[in-house]
Structure 1
């Protein structure tokens, strides 16, 4: 298959990729169009995850791309961003599943695990044999996770006992392991634990009645005297700094996914505008519709430029928290505008699932909030540019 940039990449940023990266992206795009796009609306409506896509995504080598133990070929952070964009362009929930597996869960092991833990778990997760989840957020602790974690890890002989609750944990209804972040009762520092989900005292209950990212299987987790051996404590996690390092790696990819969600809505609107006849001609011929579409592509193009650069900075080793935070805050804000304008193109037809845009519109709300709200990311950037912390 020959590579062809998507028309929504108005300035041709995809041409920055290597030939190998372009080839893999082309293969991924073909799979998503043939096997995922036709089924996502039904699964979104039923709030079900299409488990049959996990192994094909693993076979495409999407899991474990950054890590030495599982890297399928030399690839850039820019390429990994394009993968997130391409997934979200079809469905944001599928992009979120991959982001949790590849970024958060494997990222926690890649950043916080020792050599033995990385060698044991990363290949099994890259192959799709083991599905992971990332347990940080709690019912009473979201934006203040650095200080407000209430889940407690108590040392008990050669192991640890975990007690607490987690909320909004993606993949957690069917994960094989969940990375649980907890405060040590001994020193008050954050520790990370790989918790097999069949461990006694571990319970995950699906969160029902979501109206955004309905395909994602979020769960409330209860930890009731869950015993974990020292061998499953992430050996290189000694404080929240390591947790933040994982989030730094993934936050920019969430920004990429938000651009993909914008593109999905825009492309649906562009197609509809060419097909829908009003006043004897396609609505794409009307000035006000063109104005909406041009505002969409403007937001998308500006956002691609930002996420490309922030990923280049990661490759160059100069990306800091505030760089990823600015990208996440900016692109998700522009996404909100874009999906609203795209939905407007459809008139009343924009509120039914048949035309896809309603799904992109609804999913934007969750993406706007998760992996750091706009407000929290704004305060991270504000601290960097003023030298003053204004979090409380």
Structure 2
């Protein structure tokens, strides 16, 4: 079977050169194919217009949720029966599929399926999980992860300044959060605050419309323009003890969440690189210059080869990381390495894609410009290159280079 014929029978074809897709079951491929059809037919035609306007295509949200992607029945068993959670490799490829279409769509979905779900899975007590997790999975309880602050991003562990003060069975929160994607349509905000009594970080589910909560859309972004990021102000917000995540009692518990979630961002970075590579490949096989197909030139082919190498290496990293996590192996340095390296390769890949598409690479028509701009946001969030490098360096040397 030729490469061309083989690629027609696979979801990911040439961008998955070493066929990581073969690790998926037939049912998992079927669910991902359902997502692919939706993205190609319903989402892709809308993206350039919404990206340019800096608005999110909310008409896609309901149908996307309706695809039953988080814990699909065909992968987990019939409702009411003994159910098996969807495998990590499926969840990774779900993120990859979204990101190779659009980074904002991937960020929107993983805000619920990754960030908020992890906050509940790691931070909630068993009783709280029993109450909330089914609603998280079916999106009847929509939430966002509200950790970053206006003055604290990379130094949030020591710099978190939002406070929580307990009065009887009520907590009073004061402070601000920033860059919180999806907050405007969430039911609750998972807010992290420092307990004034013991100085430790706690977490709370705050109703978005609670008295004292103010949301402001962040304007003027040049990346993730469709994703609606919010600046959140908390002024004397009252939260009952029952809405505190009972298993979050220090920043160590928050770090456990971040360690689990960083792999999701590595999958997003890999998907963006794949999307940019595919867009560039489409362009150079259709565009003609000097009487020849653009893809026939040596320098273009060299750039295509480098892009494919980056995507293949990134897929290898995230697949292996996901396999390790499926065995229960969660190490800070593992997820940090994957996020750091896939983001580096993503950044190079989108730049190379922009180069081979030439002047048209700065227009939204070819998709390349959107990937090129959005990559900058992904490069920085969930741990900058430098922070992840220091996490890895600490593991290698036994010495922490972090400063206070």
Give the TM-score category using the shorter length: over 0.9
Aligned to 1:49: 56
Cα deviation for residue 31 of structure 1 reads 1.1
Unaligned runs of 5+ in 2: 1-7
Aligned to 1:325: 336
Q: How far apart, CA to CA, are the structure 2 residues paired with 1:336 and 1:369?
A: 11
Aligned to 2:14: 7
Tell whether the 8 Å contact from 2:76 to 2:85 is kept in structure 1 after alignment.
no
- Given the alignment, which residue of 141, 151, 154 partners 1:143? 154
Unaligned runs of 5+ in 1: none
Q: How far apart, CA to CA, are the structure 2 residues paired with 1:105 and 1:319?
A: 18
The TM-score with structure 1 as length reference comes to: 0.96
1:22 aligns with 2:33: no
Aligned to 1:126: 137
SS at 2:227 equivalent: coil
- Given the alignment, which residue of 63, 76, 80 partners 2:70? 63
Cα deviation for residue 59 of structure 1 reads 2.2
Q: How far apart, CA to CA, are the structure 1 residues paired with 2:99 and 2:84?
A: 23
Q: How far apart, CA to CA, are the structure 2 residues paired with 1:6 and 1:195?
A: 44
SS at 1:346 equivalent: helix
Cα deviation for residue 101 of structure 1 reads 0.9
Structure-to-structure mapping, 1:220-235, within 5 angstroms? 220-235=231-246
Aligned to 1:97: 108
Tell whether the 8 Å contact from 1:55 to 1:128 is kept in structure 2 after alignment.
no
1:365 aligns with 2:376: yes
Cα deviation for residue 124 of structure 1 reads 2.0
Tell whether the 8 Å contact from 1:152 to 1:162 is kept in structure 2 after alignment.
yes
After TM superposition, the structure 1 stretch with the greater mean CA deviation from structure 2, 158-167 or 130-139, is 130-139
Tell whether the 8 Å contact from 1:63 to 1:125 is kept in structure 2 after alignment.
no
- Given the alignment, which residue of 31, 44, 52 partners 1:37? 44
SS at 2:184 equivalent: coil
Q: How far apart, CA to CA, are the structure 1 residues paired with 2:211 and 2:76?
A: 31
Cα deviation for residue 106 of structure 1 reads 1.6
Question: How many pairs align?
Answer: 392
Aligned to 1:190: 201
After TM superposition, the structure 1 stretch with the greater mean CA deviation from structure 2, 67-76 or 56-65, is 67-76
- Given the alignment, which residue of 267, 289, 292 partners 1:256? 267
Aligned to 1:334: 345
SS at 1:187 equivalent: coil
Cα deviation for residue 115 of structure 1 reads 2.6
Please report the RMSD computed on the Cα atoms of aligned residues, expressed in angstroms.
2.0
Aligned to 2:92: 81
